[in-house]
Amino acid sequence: MQPALIVIHGISLPPGQFGGPYIDQLFTNKLDPAGHPYFREIAGVQVSSHLLIRRSGDVVQFVPLPRRAWHAGKSSFKGRHQCNDFSVGIELEGTDDRAYTAAQYRRLASVIRVLQRGVPSLAEAPIVGHSDVAPGRKTDPGSAFDWARLRALLVPRTARRR
């Protein structure tokens, strides 16, 4: 896979709750449907992401970057369908309507910079939300995600000082 897109997501399991093992279990197909009433609704769903950034800023990798992760579902970007085939998926532990943490923004910017330097096809790749590639179906990372804050963190330090 030659990734040409970075897709930002938001996830919490159960919805609106942070911490715990449930996101890890979902991405490794080990989520117990009996563990919470909501889990019965998503039983059997097989999804994954390349990376997860927890509220603390800690990063967990689930899928190697050269491999396809199943994070975007039915999706398209600029006329190109099946975004899973050409994107890196980064999940942030959060919800559409609750602020993400400063640690998450710092780590996300750091991860994106590493990806841009280390993966030539991502050097100038667009950075979009799940809602941008699956409009009407997905809303994450949601209105609480501060795109301006992320863009400011991605500006090289030397340019910020001018």
| Residues carrying an active site annotation | 91
Q: How many residues are recorded in the chain? A: 162
**Burial (Cβ within 10 Å: 0-12, 13-18, ≥19) of residue 37:** exposed
Count Cα atoms within 13 angstroms, Cβ side, for 88: 24
Helix (H) / strand (E) element for 26: namely helix 22-27
Amino acid at 72: A
